[in-house]
């Protein structure tokens, strides 16, 4: 038995003497039997629709399933481990007999996260294989790793957003002990590590919670995936918020990225996100939580207690400026340097009055720079494109260097996506491994979704089939590019070093930051005490623009960064001065 007193309410829980309590929620079921070994054991039903049974002499790894009114057998939706996948029997996970350490996501100085997908980060695509990448990422200069979801999903490969279980780690990457080894190795390398979790829906295959408790969902609200998770029910809330405590306690995670919180509907007095944050911090008081949310909603931080929000405005305005995209949500942006300067100065561009995608937005007054996370790309902005190209493949090297300087020297938090640090020319595509019929529906749905983008309306053949094994294989990172593009890796390392060591740039202070525009040049002035840093950046070039007065600390056109050797603002470039 574990030395901890807390275990989740639902699912298998270890008791003294090798006993295990099994508990599920299935309010519409009259009779439940636990299938354990060669036994069919009746479970006792409570008035709230839960069924429970305490069984002696259970061994770690024991497989079990359930019969519901004679139907089944089915795995446990609250399973801790699915060694044979979403449709296989559940397994009792051995109790954890030691405390796992944590490493807090930095607060109080400029922070940088590295988003990665475990299946494509390495050729092997496993928890253990990722460990060998940790020294490289530590040398790069990031301080936090963000894993795309690892909750058990169907098939051999997946982005992770088709998760079918709340508590079980994906067996395709390895065992629970392998995942603990990865988290522990990250901590020993001086890296914090957070997990992407999905609380707005469950995947279309293997989510047996639909069979156990259809009441888990409601049609009162709609999401892109169908009916919403029903957070008016205490059993549902408990299942979700206790899962964050489980991942922190049992695997050592230091926090979470909360997927698409704009698709979480909860009219309760206390929002489920506040409960999620509180539960995670009961396991680790410094747990960090960041929301993906396109509404520009300050309540996520000021009311619900999250640390930060993935602020899309910076990315979207920059991409429109560089590439001229105006489809879908990009229609809300003019692609002008003034928009980017406002995002740097205030966190968001849209702070009320927006009539298009995402809602009006709210003011950022009172929110610190650390409440916003900026990026040049992420898994969505790379993978939700037909060709899955990184930004470096779509702009000139000079533009890429200038944009990278701008991102990595802002006072807000920043996030990189795997391959960005060496200007990857490869692809990260959307891939799945569903059964044939579901796979066909996913492919058709993907094509419908992309009709909102002109390129794919006119050229549907450019959209890759997510079900093709080649689509997954083509998404593997090409590590040889890190050597071929050493100039970019050198630039990123130096910029990230400045974020943590420069006496001005290391401080995430929006109040002492001023951003403005002259022509096509964005100026960002940051101060601390008597020290001043001035960054001048242009992504298009400004004929006749002069380098400001001051001592040049770095410029994007240095030869060691692959440039021509002369600082310039007349063509795309960036100059940092003291």
Exposure of 432 by Cβ count < 10 A (0-12 exposed, 13-18 middle, 19+ buried)?
A: buried
Active site residues: 259, 292
Which DSSP string do the residues of 507-573 spell out, in sequence order? S--STTEEEEEETTEEEEEEEETTEEEEEEEESS--TTPPPPSS-EEEETT-GGGTS-SS--SSSSE
Give me the residues paired with residue 25 across strands.
50
Whole-Å CA distances, 516 to 398, 534, 574:
21, 11, 15
Q: What does the longest C-alpha to C-alpha distance in the chain come to?
A: 83
Instruction: Of 457, 419, 465, give the one whose Cα is nearest residue 441.
Output: 465
Whether the bond into 78 is cis, omega within 30 of 0: no
Query: 206 in the Ramachandran plot: left (φ > 0), alpha (ψ -120 to 50) or beta?
Result: left
Q: How many helices (H) and strands (E) does the chain have?
A: 17, 24
Q: Can you give the C-alpha Rg of the chain in angstroms?
A: 25
Instruction: List the structure tokens of 363.
Output: 């003011």
- CA angle, 404 as apex, 398 and 405 as ends, to 5°? 95
Residue recorded with tokens 């809300």: 332
Query: 500 in the Ramachandran plot: left (φ > 0), alpha (ψ -120 to 50) or beta?
Result: alpha
The answer to whether 315 and 333 have CB atoms below 8 angstroms apart is: no
Query: 417 in the Ramachandran plot: left (φ > 0), alpha (ψ -120 to 50) or beta?
Result: beta
Instruction: Of 1, 28, 3, give the one whose Cα is nearest residue 13.
Output: 1
What 3-state class would DSSP assign to 485?
coil
Helix (H) or strand (E) holding 413: strand 413-417
Instruction: Of 204, 203, 198, 228, give the one whose Cα is nearest residue 216.
Output: 228
């Amino acid at each position: 038995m574990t030395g901890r007193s807390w275990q989740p309410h639902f699912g298998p829980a270890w008791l003294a003497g090798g006993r295990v309590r099994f508990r599920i929620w299935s309010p519409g079921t009259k009779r439940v039997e636990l299938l354990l070994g060669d036994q069919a054991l009746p479970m006792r039903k409570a008035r709230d629709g839960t069924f429970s049974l305490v069984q002696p002499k259970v061994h770690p790894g024991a497989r079990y399933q359930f019969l519901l009114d004679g139907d089944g057998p089915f795995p446990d939706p609250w399973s801790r481990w699915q060694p044979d996948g979403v449709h296989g029997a559940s397994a009792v996970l051995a109790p954890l007999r030691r405390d796992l350490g944590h490493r807090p996501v930095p607060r109080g100085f400029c922070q940088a996260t590295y988003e990665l997908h475990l299946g494509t980060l390495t050729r092997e695509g496993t928890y253990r294989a990722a460990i060998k990448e940790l020294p490289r990422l530590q040398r790069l200069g990031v301080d936090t790793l963000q894993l795309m979801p690892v909750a058990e999903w169907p098939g051999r490969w997946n982005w992770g957003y088709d998760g079918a279980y709340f508590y079980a780690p994906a067996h395709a990457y390895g065992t629970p002990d392998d995942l603990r080894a990865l988290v522990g190795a990250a901590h020993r390398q001086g890296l914090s590590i957070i997990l992407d979790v999905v609380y707005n829906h469950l995947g279309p295959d293997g989510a047996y919670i639909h069979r156990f408790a259809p009441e888990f969902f409601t049609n009162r609200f709609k999401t892109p995936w169908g009916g919403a998770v029903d957070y008016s029910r205490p059993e549902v809330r408990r299942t979700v918020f206790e899962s964050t405590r489980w991942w922190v306690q049992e695997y050592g995670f230091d926090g979470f990225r909360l997927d698409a919180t704009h698709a979480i509907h909860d009219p309760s007095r206390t929002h489920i996100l506040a409960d999620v944050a509180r539960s995670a911090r009961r396991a680790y008081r410094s747990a960090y939580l960041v929301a993906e949310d396109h509404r520009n909603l300050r309540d996520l931080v000021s009311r619900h207690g999250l640390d930060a929000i993935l602020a899309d405005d910076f990315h979207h305005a920059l991409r429109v400026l560089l590439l001229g995209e105006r489809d879908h949500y990009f229609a809300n942006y003019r692609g002008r340097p003034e928009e980017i300067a406002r995002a740097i100065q205030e966190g968001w561009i849209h702070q009320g009055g927006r009539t298009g995608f995402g809602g009006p937005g709210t003011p950022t007054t009172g929110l610190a720079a650390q409440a916003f996370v900026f990026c040049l790309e992420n898994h969505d902005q790379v993978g939700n494109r037909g060709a899955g190209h990184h930004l470096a493949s779509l702009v000139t090297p000079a533009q890429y260097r200038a944009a990278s300087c701008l991102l990595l020297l802002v006072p807000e938090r920043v996030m990189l996506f795997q391959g960005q640090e060496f200007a990857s020319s490869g692809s990260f595509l959307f891939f799945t491994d569903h059964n044939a019929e579901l796979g066909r529906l996913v492919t058709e749905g993907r094509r419908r979704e992309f009709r909102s983008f002109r390129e794919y309306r006119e050229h549907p053949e450019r959209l890759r089939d997510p079900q093709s094994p080649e689509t997954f294989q083509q998404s593997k990172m090409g590590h040889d590019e890190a050597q071929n593009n050493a100039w970019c890796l050198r630039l990123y390392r130096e910029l990230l070093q400045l974020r943590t060591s420069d006496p001005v740039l290391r401080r995430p202070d929006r109040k002492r930051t001023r951003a403005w525009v002259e022509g096509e040049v964005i100026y960002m002035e940051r101060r601390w005490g008597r020290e001043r840093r001035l960054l001048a950046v242009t992504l298009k070039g400004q004929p006749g623009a002069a380098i400001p007065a001051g001592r040049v600390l770095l410029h994007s056109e240095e030869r060691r960064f692959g440039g021509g050797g002369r600082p310039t603002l007349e063509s795309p470039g960036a100059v940092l001065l003291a």
